Every structure is written in structure tokens, then in C-alpha cells.
Amino acid sequence: MASDTQPTPVSAKTPVTLREVATLAGVSVATASKALNGQGRMTAETRERIRETAQRLGFRPNSLAQSLLRRRSFTVGLLTNDTYGRFSLPVMSGISDALVDKGVSVFLCNVEDDQRLGQLHVDAMLDKRVDGIIATGKRIDRHLPVDLANLRIPVIYAFTQPDPGAIAFVSDDAGGARLAVEHFCRLGRCRIAHVTGPASFAVVHARAQAYRDVLTEKGLPVMVPLLGSWSEAWGHEAVKQLFDGKLSKSGGEKPDAVFCGNDQIARGVIDALRERGLDVPDDVGVIGFDNWQIVAEATRPPLTSVDMNLAALGREAGLTLLSLVGGEPAQPGIRKLPCRLVVRQSCGRPPGG
């Protein structure tokens, strides 16, 4: 027989009020408010008792009221055209790490390469009174398709081309290339090739120049950098050119190391070398760039790679934006953050090591 008992309807719980916290803690509403906002004069014991009471009751401050009081929304907008998140996600991780302890939330908006979409997102952020905007992208030599100049809130650029007179954070690509080539030199490699991406990217030229500079300083032969696509297929083709093409038939010795412009190229290079019966790293050492872990750690052998420290870059961008929001001045310009070399098994050991 079916029961006539009706289920009890679920209802939303009423939020705990500041007055309830104050009553239970035995203080006035004003004192409770000051304690929770880190203001006012009171004993440490009283302040701690009020905070413990608020936590026990599950009290959450009214964010709208706080925003009106402090004239801040405690939100930051993050704009990107990096659809896959290859570069923007580590940057965002660093930004969030810098802001979360300050009670600031980050809203990510993907503008793709659509100027209209970008402007819609910026207008929405301004309507929501974000405290500032951080712009990040897929490459450092291209603007996002949106005008961020002359906004009345602070704007920081991270891993994308900034407007003139703005503050920007980028990785030191030349410094990263130096780390890779100098590491090969310390390992005793003396015929180092460079296989990299398209000539349309500024980082390609910065890294290639650093490659040439290091070899010239060491008195080692400089090979002509091979430029192609950012792909495994190009890495495979480049090995063919290095070992079978005009480069190998010009009288020069074959390379004993290859510095690659990204990890996908490096993976293609390693696969092609293996197919030729060449051992990596005993016969030829390989170093990549980006330290894309899903690629670098799955490569056989695991790939040594230059890490652009994008999370640290994002953290610096976030902290700088907070300073600007707080009224502290900051010098405009592009700030280059150092890269680091993550050594795995693809580049070999030093002589006698």
C-alpha cells in the first residue's frame, strides 16, 4: 500500500548574520565587524574569539557590502586567446596562487582571435567592476584582438605583446636558449645543431641568436639553424636534412647534439634518430624548449627541456596588479623572467661521468 506521507521539501538555509556572530561572541555588531575585517582596537583574545565564532557558525561576509565599503570588487579579469590553454593555464595558475590568499577571484575569458568577442568580454568585466585585467596569449609578439589602452583600471600583460607604456612580463627566451646550449657544451658536445619553428615568431630569432652567440664564444662551429613548423613531423624531416641532405654532404661532420625550439620538434627528432639506429643520448643529445610535461616525460628517453617558468611569471603579474590596485606605482616596460633547464635523460652525461 502506497504511503500518503509526503517528502519534506528542501529549503535554502538562511545565511548567518553578523548580528548572530556578535551575540554569540558577546560583543557589539560594530566590534564583530572590526574584528573580522582586521580593524579596530581590541585584545587579541577578543578578536580570536569572534573569528572562531564566525567560523563555527559558517558566517560569510557579504561580498557586495564589502565591495561597496572598500570600493573594490575583489575580482580580476584574465583575457586570453590561447584556446588550448597550453600557455595560459600555467600563467593562470600562478596568478591564482598570488591572488587567492588576498581574497581575490580570477575570471578567465577566452577571446579566441575575435575582436568583437574580446570587446564583449572587456565590457562585461568593466560592468562587473573588476579591479584590474591581465591579458595573456599564445605568443609574445602578437596583441590580443582587443583594445585595452586607456581603461580606468590597471592592466598587466603576461606572455603577450603589450601596448606602449604598459607593464608586461615575458620569459627570457634568449637566456633559456643559452642554458640549453651551454649545458651541451659542459657535456662535451661540440657539433650542436638547432632545429626550431617558423621565422614569423620573434622567439625563433631570439633563441637562434643566443645559440649562435654561445657557440661563437666557445669557439665551436655554428650550423645554420633549421626553421620549420612547431611539429613532430618537422623534427623528423629536420633529422633527414641534417644526416642525408645538403648539410651532411657539405663536408661538415654530423651533429652530436640537437637543440630544439619546442618539445614537439624534439620528440620528432628523437624518433627519427632512433629509426636511424642512433642512440639518444649516447650518439646524439637532444634538448627541447617549453617543458611541456605531457610530452617531455612521455618521450623515450625522457626529454631535457627549457622551462619558461610560466606559473612564476603569472604570479609576478598577479602581485604587480595587486600593487597597482592598491595605489602603489610601478615602472612601465617589459620585464623578462629567467627560464630554468629541467634535466632528464635525453642529453647525456659529461665526459667521464
Q: Give CATH for domain 173-308.
A: 3.40.50.2300
Q: Which residues contact 53 (CB under 8 A, 6 or more apart)?
A: 21, 24, 25, 59
Equal fold, 71-171+310-338 vs 173-308: yes
DSSP 148-184: -TT-SS-EEEESSPPPTT-EEEEE-HHHHHHHHHHHH
Lowest-confidence segment of 10-19, 53-62, 267-276, 341-350 by average pLDDT = 10-19
Average pLDDT value for residue range 315-335: 93
> What local confidence, expressed as pLDDT, does residue 62 receive?
58
CA 213 to chain CA centroid, nearest Å? 27
- Return the CATH number of the domain spanning residue range 71-171+310-338: 3.40.50.2300
Is a pLDDT exceeding 60 seen at residue 36? yes
User: Over the stretch 54-112, which tens digit does the pLDDT of each residue have?
Assistant: 888 887 765 544 543 456 778 899 999 998 888 888 999 999 989 887 778 888 899 98
pLDDT at 184 over 80: yes
For residue 1, the Cα-to-chain-centroid distance in whole angstroms is: 63
Secondary-structure class of domain 18-61 per CATH: mainly alpha
The domain limits of the chain are: 18-61, 71-171+310-338, 173-308
pTM recorded for the entire structure: 0.79
d(CA 173, CA 217): 18
Per-residue confidence band for 160, with pLDDT thresholds at 50, 70 and 90: very high
pLDDT tens digits for 216-246? 999 999 999 999 999 999 999 999 999 987 6
